[in-house]
């Protein structure tokens, strides 16, 4: 996960970070350690299309392409990389770099899925349970969100 230098911040004032596929690490002419990355479309919302949309645990991001269909790559200082994650690409190739993809429909197929770290699951499920209970209290008699189905 990395910061792309955007001005966006989360509720805690930290810069929002996004996944990117690291293709190579290198040292530039000034001795700065950098990473060449294939970025995701971080300026748009996550990918909610298709049968496998976003959930509380999983987010899908589209890989970013230039107008000519080549992958959008950035050279970023390694200190912009906040932490390493495991992400799964929907379409895999033998080479680390996606080939030129001109069709917008085909570009939408190139997504990256990230899963929330397990250390955050407990809080997420506690919050979700609270949300379901709050919904139950506000439901108007049709029991749409009831948690206790055995009780009438």
C-alpha to C-alpha distance for 109 and 90, rounded to whole angstroms = 7
The pTM of this model reads 0.66
Query: 94 lies in which domain range?
Result: 20-116
In this structure, is residue 13 part of a structural domain? no
Mean pLDDT of 84-96: 75
Proportion of the chain above pLDDT 90, given as a percent? 10
In this structure, is residue 43 part of a structural domain? yes
Please count the structural domains in the chain: 2
pLDDT at 142 over 70: no
Mark whether 112 and 126 lie in a shared domain: no
Mark whether 28 and 100 lie in a shared domain: yes
Q: What is the pLDDT of residue 50?
A: 54
Mean pLDDT of 6-15: 70
In this structure, is residue 112 part of a structural domain? yes
In this structure, is residue 11 part of a structural domain? no
pLDDT tens, 97-128?
A: 788 888 888 887 887 888 888 888 899 889 98
Say which residues have a Cβ less than 8 Å from residue 4's Cβ, sequence separation at least 6: 18, 20, 39, 42, 74, 76, 80
In this structure, is residue 39 part of a structural domain? yes
Mark whether 29 and 103 lie in a shared domain: yes
Asked if residues 61 and 44 have their Cβ atoms less than 8 Å apart, the reply is no
C-alpha to C-alpha distance for 37 and 25, rounded to whole angstroms = 9
């Amino acid at each position: 996960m990395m910061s792309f230098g955007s001005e966006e911040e989360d509720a805690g004032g930290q810069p929002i970070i996004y996944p990117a596929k690291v293709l190579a690490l290198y040292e530039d002419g000034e001795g700065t350690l950098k990473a060449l990355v294939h970025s995701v479309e971080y300026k748009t919302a996550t990918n909610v299309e298709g049968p496998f949309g976003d959930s509380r645990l999983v987010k899908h991001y589209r890989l970013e392409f230039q107008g000519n269909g080549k992958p959008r790559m950035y050279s970023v200082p390694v200190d912009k990389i906040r932490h390493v994650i495991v992400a799964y690409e929907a379409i895999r190739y033998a080479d680390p770099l996606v080939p030129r993809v001109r069709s917008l429909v085909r570009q939408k197929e190139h997504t990256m899925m990230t899963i929330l770290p397990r250390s955050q699951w407990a809080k997420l499920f506690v919050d979700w349970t609270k949300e379901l209970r709050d919904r139950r209290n506000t439901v108007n008699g049709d029991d749409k969100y009831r948690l206790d189905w055995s009780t009438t």
